[in-house]
Structure 1
Amino acid sequence: MSAAPPTDPVPTRRLGGGGPVRPGRRDLVSPLTWWVAVANLVCQIGIIVTGGLVRVTGSGLGCSTWPMCEPGEFTPVFHEETSYHAFIEFGNRTLTGVLGIVALALVILVWRTEPTRSRPRRLHALALVPLIGVALQAVIGGITVLLDLHPAVVGLHMYVSLGLVAFSTYLLVRLASPDTEPRRLLDPRTRGLLKVLVALAAVMTVLGTVVTGAGPHSGDDTHPYRWALDPLAITRVHAWAVYAFTAVLVVVTFLITRRRRAEPALGRAVTAAWTLVALTVAGAVTGIVQHATGLPGALVILHMLIAAFVVGATTWLWASTVDRPAADVPVAARAGSSG
């Protein structure tokens, strides 16, 4: 299905006296919009790190209610029994507010500034996803507190965050890509393996969250072990998912690297694949070390950070296996990028 045309068609011109020229990033998105989109991705990953800090310090109920921190008080209340838990939890909530502002600014810039204003409505809709996701996360966070950190809701909180990392990564790729018909660069076999890889990434991250909920870092010091599961058994299941993901990734990386000889447009996909290999190895090593050393909080947070990077890199790899051929560059976009 072809992309919807811009609401207000922009005149185009051919450059260099020949055929269509592939536009540069500045022809497609303003520098300010681009960097706000980058900030959105950084904040989406950052909220996972601060959420990890909440979990490993047992600060999930540092604020006793929602949307206020304490009954009648938006911020933590200072008194002789006030602990650091309240400030860690409130800090995480504050970052959610910052992320909401960034996501709102991104929507305004994509919708109201050139050249993205004249680009397809599908791109405009994609820019809305982070803002909607932040609003959803605020509600889920409130439900998490009101249900005393039920592990299913805590897990959902993490899954939505990882999903927003994926969407925000894809948005960056899409902002820097022309609006022409996409062309798949992989043969059906490799494309099928890539779909398996994405599915395994989802299984791997879901099991990783279950492992955390079954261990001593569920987010609340009073009830550290939330899931009634054998931590060692669920850790082994998670490890097997990591092994399967790694095996498929190695095969996909080999096939993409080999195919690049006949398809130079796969250059970005090769870079993304090898980046994902490095992140996967780093995550595996971190997991082994944290398991062998009794799950120190710092390593748990690092593992969550790497998981966010793995999700982003997997999305980058998926998006890089599709090419959008060169097209005429809008005159308005060229004028804006040269100024």
Structure 2
Amino acid sequence: MSTTSTTSPVAPPSPSLLQRLRPRWTVPAVVANLVAQVVIVVTGGAVRLTGSGLGCSTWPQCEPGQFAPVFHEAMSVHTAVEFGNRTLTGLLVVLSAAVALLAGLDRSRSRSYRAWAWAPFAGVALQAVIGGITVLVHLHPAVVGSHFLISMALVAVSAWLLVRTREGDGAPVAAVDRTTRVLAAVLGAIGAVVLVLGVVVTGAGPHSGDEEVGYRFAVDPYAVARVHALSVWAFVAVLVVLLVRVARAGRASAAPAYPSPDGTVQPARGTAPVHPHAPADALGRVRRAGLALLVVTLAQGGIGYVQLFTGLPIALVNLHMFGAAVLTAALALVLGTLRVRGAPASALPATAPA
């Protein structure tokens, strides 16, 4: 007589709260973080342009012994502007923390992606410290300028994180040829120069951060503005060349090919080469992102010239700062379209080609 033992199947562990939220909320959290990173540039610009940098006399408290200002009739608008910017910083901490929890702890994604997901949270924490130092050093223009440039870096990182969130973790495949990728690297370098020169122009002009001191950097603001404008035109020139090459590559992909003497198939004459492993729609993504960047750049340049010839009104200067943030995000998105990533080979079915 034999006995048989039966074992009941073990139920799989129930998913955690983060695992349940991750599929629906990761992309919205990343987008919200990017939007907030751009908006805080606008509110920070308002602090600088209205001379409200010392609206709160200390940090992290607004006034000694209190985190929030006491609202009364004699309170100046500077306190409200500065405290409003600090409040938005608190919201940005929440959003960047949500991104870190949803994307930074996602074990199904690569280690590099998870590291990118933690970057906004670390950057916001750094910005909070630099903001406090800015108050303690009485709005030194170098510290104020670095505060803005770090914001631009956070906008770029947040835009790049959006690109990485929407793609897989497979090996990157270039969508364009090497020459076009070199042009894109040059474009990114010139973009950084444009931002730095913009900071110098603002720090040398009447909106340097302190309404009681007109000129903080000891340079000629008009001379620096001309150099800044030249860097923008160089940026536009490189971008146009890049777009022309992408357009030629698009024509090459649609044009009939002809056999070369060595037996390989070559694109029609007069067209740029197409990367052999790029998906069919990759060039369209590059072209659309590049055209959007061109529109933003031309609009930003127009605002810059108008504000210069109209005496630097606060509203236009703040709009110019907003445009700088949008341009930075658009540039990061363009760079993200130059290659594509699919699912890693380990994640594909056994019957699918790697």
The TM tier, using the shorter chain, reads 0.7 to 0.9
| TM-score, length basis structure 1 | 0.85
Distance 2:346 2:29 in 1: 23
Distance 1:182 1:140 in 2: 36
CA contact (8 A) 1:56 1:297 kept: yes
In structure 1, stretches of 5+ residues that fail to align are: 1-28, 332-339
Alpha-carbon deviation of 1:164? 0.5
Alpha-carbon deviation of 1:269? 1.0
Partner of 1:66: 59
> Cα–Cα, structure 1 residues 80 and 224, in superposed 2: closer, same or farther, change >3 Å?
farther
Farther off after superposition, 303-312 or 252-261: 252-261
Using CA pairs below 8 Å that are at least 6 residues apart, which structure has the higher relative contact order? Answer: 1
> Cα–Cα, structure 1 residues 319 and 145, in superposed 2: closer, same or farther, change >3 Å?
same
Distance 1:147 1:197 in 2: 35
CA contact (8 A) 1:70 1:77 kept: no
Tell me, yes or no, if structure 1 residue 323 matches structure 2 residue 340: yes
In structure 2, stretches of 5+ residues that fail to align are: 1-21, 254-273, 275-279, 349-354
Distance 1:224 1:160 in 2: 24
Q: Deviations over 1:281-306 (max 9, x none)?
A: 00010001100100011101111111
Higher-Rg member (1/2): 2
Partner of 1:286: 303
Matches within 5 A, 1:105-116: 105-112=98-105, 116=106
CA contact (8 A) 2:61 2:67 kept: yes
> Cα–Cα, structure 1 residues 286 and 66, in superposed 2: closer, same or farther, change >3 Å?
same
Distance 1:64 1:122 in 2: 40
> Cα–Cα, structure 1 residues 153 and 320, in superposed 2: closer, same or farther, change >3 Å?
same
CA contact (8 A) 1:290 1:299 kept: yes
| TM-score, length basis structure 2 | 0.81
Among the aligned pairs, what percent are the same residue? 53
Farther off after superposition, 74-83 or 287-296: 74-83
CA contact (8 A) 2:205 2:221 kept: yes
Match of residue 303, structure 1, among 320, 323, 340: 320
Partner of 1:247: 237
Distance 1:79 1:274 in 2: 50
Matches within 5 A, 1:160-239: 160-239=150-229
Distance 2:45 2:23 in 1: 34
Partner of 1:77: 70
Tell me, yes or no, if structure 1 residue 93 matches structure 2 residue 86: yes
SS where residue 244 of structure 2 aligns?
Answer: helix
SS where residue 58 of structure 2 aligns?
Answer: coil
